[in-house]
């Protein structure tokens, strides 16, 4: 059985979803696409080979015209919750790109409404759907390195060449925290099973940064257990670039785990996933990773379809994603205030 979906938001990353992520998932069928930009709508519709009757200028128009069980939202972040609520009130399940919303309180409104209506609202936290973080999560659950002492995360990319007017990241609100670090915050919650309670962010970009807001950040995160996490991220680093999931070092009483993820080519995105385990006095040994046939967004979309058909609960269901948003929100508040900020779950 395939789930019929309406895909709304086709520009930029949304167009990439339409062409690369959604077609890989046999469990879903595109019933309609929607975007307010006529040129974008036509371009994506043509690439997908869809007739004009399946293309609409808005989600409202698509909901009125086609029969579908679910809506996939890849429109700009400020529209996520309004579109999600519209779809939910129409009786549709919803998969929404990250960040779920710009505030945790706003996200909670949609997440709780989905629960009231008995509908699935899943957030696409695609970095979870790779073999390395899944393996590390299992290792920590099995106490592979004993009591944890510290976690450090490094993310480095150079994304500072285009003219300001040509690059959407340059205008993105809190581009390091809201657009990138949110992935790492969410992975942190996944692998440790813990929530963050306090955070301190320091931002100071070089003069050559073309970003309106922070292109780099150093963030200290305190988890509920008291464990302290050190995060360093940059869009304007000339250092050796990391994979998209960053470089992770997890120190424990009886060893250290290193992992990196989401650095492989488009045709084999899990190829660069690496996990190693080093015992005191020994060499780092590779950890065998479980094979996967789908990764990232496509794997998450399959989980979404399974939740609709079989009644399972996705691990990134809306209410479960609020901790990642609350940490993101607190990190941005700290960047502005210069103070340690509490992570407040709505």
333 & 279 share domain: yes
CA 116 to CA 76: how far, in whole Å? 25
Is 253 within the bounds of a domain? Answer: yes
Q: Identify the CA nearest to 209 among candidates 185, 240, 237.
A: 237
219 & 268 share domain: yes
Q: Is the pLDDT of residue 267 over 80?
A: no
104 & 136 share domain: no
pLDDT in tens, 108-151: 999 999 999 999 999 999 999 999 999 999 999 999 999 999 99
Is 225 within the bounds of a domain? Answer: yes
Residues facing 93 on adjacent strands: 70
311 & 331 share domain: no
CATH number at residue 211: 3.30.360.10
Tokens of 123: 């957030």
Tokens of 218: 């150093």
171 & 83 share domain: no
274 & 299 share domain: no
Is 24 within the bounds of a domain? Answer: yes
287 & 301 share domain: no
The 3-class SS string of the chain reads CCEEEEEECCCCHHHHHHHHHHHHCCCEEEEEEECCCHHHHHHHHHHHCCCHHHEECCHHHHHHHCCCCEEEECCCHHHHHHHHHHHHHCCCEEEEECCCCCCHHHHHHHHHHHHHHCCCEEEECHHHCCHHHHHHHHHHHCCCCCCEEEEEEEEECECCCCCHHHCHHHHCCCHHHHHHHHHHHHHHHHHHCCCEEEEEEECCCCCCCCCCCCCEEEEEEEECCCCEEEEEEECECCCCCCCCCCEEEEEECCEEEEEECCCCCCCCCCCCCEEEEECCCCCCEECCCCCCCCCHHHHHHHHHHHHHHHCCCCCCEHHHHHHHHHHHHHHHHHHHHCCCEECCCC
In degrees and rounded to multiples of 5, residue 29 shows phi and psi of -135, 130
68 & 205 share domain: no
Cα pseudo-dihedral 302, 24, 176, 247, rounded to 10: 80
Is 94 within the bounds of a domain? Answer: yes
Is 115 within the bounds of a domain? Answer: yes
217 & 138 share domain: yes
Is 322 within the bounds of a domain? Answer: no
Residues 277-303: what's their mean pLDDT?
A: 95
229 & 219 share domain: yes
Q: Which residue has the tokens 């607190």?
A: 330
Provide the mean pLDDT of the chain.
Answer: 95
**Cis before 89 (ω within 30):** no
- Residue numbers of the domain that contains 230: 128-293+327-342
Residues in the chain: 346
pLDDT in tens, 314-330: 999 999 999 999 999 99
Q: Is the pLDDT of residue 168 over 80?
A: no
154 & 96 share domain: no
Q: Which has more confidence, 166 or 304? A: 304
144 & 119 share domain: no
Q: Is the pLDDT of residue 171 over 90?
A: no
pTM over 0.85? The answer is yes
pLDDT in tens, 13-64: 899 999 999 999 999 999 999 999 999 999 999 999 999 999 999 999 999 9
CATH number at residue 39: 3.40.50.720
Is 140 within the bounds of a domain? Answer: yes
Overall number of domains in the chain: 2
Contact in structure between 75 and 37 (CB atoms under 8 Å): no
Is 69 within the bounds of a domain? Answer: yes
The percentage of the chain sitting over the pLDDT mark of 70, rounded to a whole number, equals 99
pLDDT at 346: 87
């Amino acid at each position: 059985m395939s789930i019929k979906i309406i895909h709304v938001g086709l520009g930029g990353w949304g167009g990439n979803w339409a062409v690369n992520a959604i077609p890989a998932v046999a469990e879903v069928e595109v019933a309609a696409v929607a975007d307010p930009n006529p040129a974008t709508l036509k371009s994506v519709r043509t690439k997908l080979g869809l007739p004009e009757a399946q293309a609409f200028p808005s989600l409202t128009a698509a909901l009125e015209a086609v029969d579908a069980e679910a809506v996939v939202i890849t429109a700009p972040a400020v529209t996520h919750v309004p579109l999600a609520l519209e779809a939910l009130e129409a009786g549709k399940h919803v998969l929404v790109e990250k960040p779920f919303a710009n505030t945790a309180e706003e996200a909670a409104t949609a997440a709780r409404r989905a629960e009231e209506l008995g509908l699935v609202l899943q957030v696409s936290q695609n970095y979870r759907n790779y073999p390395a973080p899944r393996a590390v999560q299992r290792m920590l659950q099995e106490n592979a390195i004993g009591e944890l002492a510290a976690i450090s995360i490094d993310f480095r990319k150079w994304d500072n060449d285009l003219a300001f007017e040509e690059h959407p990241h340059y205008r993105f609100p809190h581009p390091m925290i809201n657009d990138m670090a949110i992935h790492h915050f969410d992975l942190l919650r996944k692998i440790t099973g813990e929530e963050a309670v306090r955070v301190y962010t320091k931002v100071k970009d070089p003069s050559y940064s073309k970003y309106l807001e922070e292109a780099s950040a150093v963030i200290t995160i305190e988890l509920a257990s008291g464990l302290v996490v050190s995060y360093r991220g940059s869009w304007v680093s000339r250092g050796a670039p990391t994979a998209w999931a960053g470089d992770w070092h997890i120190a424990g009483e009886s060893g250290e785990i290193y992992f990196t993820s989401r650095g492989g080519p488009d045709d084999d995105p899990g190829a660069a996933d690496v996990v190693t385990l080093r015992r005191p006095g020994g060499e780092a040994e590779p950890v065998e990773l479980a094979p996967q046939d789908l990764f990232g967004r496509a794997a998450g979309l399959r989980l979404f379809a399974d939740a609709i058909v079989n009644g399972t609960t996705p691990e990134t269901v809306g209410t479960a994603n609020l901790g990642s948003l609350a940490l993101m929100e607190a990190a941005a508040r700290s960047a502005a205030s210069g103070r340690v900020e509490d992570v407040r779950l709505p």
